[in-house]
Structure 1
Amino acid sequence: MSQTCILILARGGSKGIPKKNMVHFMNQPLVCHCITVAKQVDGVDAVWVSTDDEAISRASSAAGALVHRRSAKTCTDTATSVGAVLEFLGDQPEVETLALLQCTSPLTLPEDVCRALQLVRAGGYDSVFSLVRRAPSLRWRDTGAGDLEPANFDPRCRPRRQDMTSELVESGNFYVTRAALVRQERQLQAGRRWYVEVSEESAVDIDTPVDLAVARALAGARWPAQADGVDPAPAPL
């Protein structure tokens, strides 16, 4: 039977913040917060966590997710998310529509993921992913020869920022796609593509202790009823 599922990739290793997917966030491990968000998305048959870590596995099961045992080759620092997704899909042939939810984007709104799923189901799109709209910037490029060159403007006719077009930047919060295309094209953004625009706040991605502190503060303001009294301090810089 074909299924729509949410997949969360949560390996045990991380460099910037050790055991990042298990840090304390909104009264629970970060991966469990992500599962809580995923379970609020309508029309999903199953929420899966793919991990190589026993603590993450136990926490995920307790939070109501199914656990996929991720192999060592897809858990290295150089392994790609696509490789881990393909491994999961190889073990779960019944999955027809896949929503990949990024564990380190804890301010993702379930309604944004719902919109992406609806666009794939009824809008004729094959892949829909999250983008954030950002103000344009005057960019420079290092030539590698001890010099700089303008990347997107002419200094002789310097544009005003308000006259420049805003940029849509991939935020990484989620990718919704037809599983058959992932298997065939080995990418998450194949076929007819479209996007769901997320807020700058929702686009916060935890990579450093500073990111973690910012995400905790924003989450406490967004969901005050669920917030911790005091979150543990992030790891020192």
Structure 2
Amino acid sequence: MTVLAVIPARGGSKGVPAKNLAQVGGIPLVVRAVRACRAARKVTDVVVSTDDAAIADAARAAGAEVVLRPAAIAGDTATSEAAVLHAMDAYGAMRGAAHRTEVVLLVQCTSPFITPGDLDGVVSAVTESGADSALTVAPTHGFIWRSESDGFGVNHDKSNRPRRQDRPQEFL
């Protein structure tokens, strides 16, 4: 079974310039993502979709294949889905007509602590448990606020402030 991990990593981030090459623990985010995918037992192929030469070099050095993303899907309004679909098509073309991918993972560089076990769990949810899609989450106890008018709490009531351990579990 072919399980393709696609890591979208464009170079033009405005919010955090060069974020996919930013280091966490001395390791660039794109490299962390590639390493997690390569270490996952159930991931067979890893491809990074990028428009940036430095990201492509880092991804290749970490052991990923690279698909160069066209400018039309590499700008500020580009979606991860467009990058994944393009990468799937391009990677399929690289592998030839007989190549078939059964499971596709979207792995974000901006989730630097994803583990190989997390990735294998997602693959298992699809291949063994019958899920049509799966995702990884992290527990959170953070309060969320919106700034409309005077601002308000989205997931809490200021008149009822239970302790963290007494609040319902939420996930990010």
Q: Same fold (TM over 0.5)?
A: yes
1:175 corresponds to: none
Is the contact between residue 35 and residue 63 of structure 1 (CA under 8 Å) also seen in structure 2? Answer: yes
1:98 corresponds to: 104
Listed as ranges, the matches of 1:1-237 within 5 Å are: 3-93=2-92, 94-135=100-141, 137=143, 142-144=147-149, 147=150, 151=154, 158=160, 160-161=162-163, 162-169=165-172
Return the alpha-carbon distance in structure 2 between the equivalents of residues 28 and 3 of structure 1: 28
Q: Shift in Å at residue 16 of structure 1?
A: 3.7
Is the contact between residue 26 and residue 33 of structure 1 (CA under 8 Å) also seen in structure 2? Answer: no
Is the contact between residue 51 and residue 69 of structure 1 (CA under 8 Å) also seen in structure 2? Answer: yes
Is the contact between residue 5 and residue 98 of structure 1 (CA under 8 Å) also seen in structure 2? Answer: yes
Q: Shift in Å at residue 114 of structure 1?
A: 1.1
Is the contact between residue 136 and residue 166 of structure 1 (CA under 8 Å) also seen in structure 2? Answer: no
* Aligned-partner SS, 1:58: helix
Is the contact between residue 10 and residue 103 of structure 1 (CA under 8 Å) also seen in structure 2? Answer: yes
Q: Could you tell me the TM-score, scaled by structure 2's length?
A: 0.79
Is the contact between residue 136 and residue 165 of structure 1 (CA under 8 Å) also seen in structure 2? Answer: no
For residues 66 and 148 of structure 1, do their structure 2 counterparts lie closer, same or farther at Cα, with a shift above 3 Å needed? closer
After TM superposition, where is structure 1 displaced by more than 4 Å over at least 4 residues in a row?
24-28, 139-143, 147-155
Is the contact between residue 43 and residue 120 of structure 2 (CA under 8 Å) also seen in structure 1? Answer: no
Q: Shift in Å at residue 51 of structure 1?
A: 0.7
- 2:51 aligned partner, one-letter code: D
For residues 136 and 43 of structure 1, do their structure 2 counterparts lie closer, same or farther at Cα, with a shift above 3 Å needed? closer
Q: Shift in Å at residue 39 of structure 1?
A: 0.8
Q: Could you tell me the TM-score, scaled by structure 1's length?
A: 0.60
- 2:112 aligned partner, one-letter code: P
Is the contact between residue 3 and residue 97 of structure 1 (CA under 8 Å) also seen in structure 2? Answer: yes
Higher strand share: 1
2:97 corresponds to: none
Is the contact between residue 67 and residue 91 of structure 2 (CA under 8 Å) also seen in structure 1? Answer: no
For residues 164 and 85 of structure 1, do their structure 2 counterparts lie closer, same or farther at Cα, with a shift above 3 Å needed? same
Identity over the aligned pairs, expressed in percent?
A: 37
CA RMSD, aligned part only?
2.6
Structure 1 gaps, min length 5: 170-237
Return the alpha-carbon distance in structure 2 between the equivalents of residues 28 and 41 of structure 1: 18
- 2:169 aligned partner, one-letter code: S
Q: Shift in Å at residue 148 of structure 1?
A: 5.1
Q: Shift in Å at residue 125 of structure 1?
A: 0.7
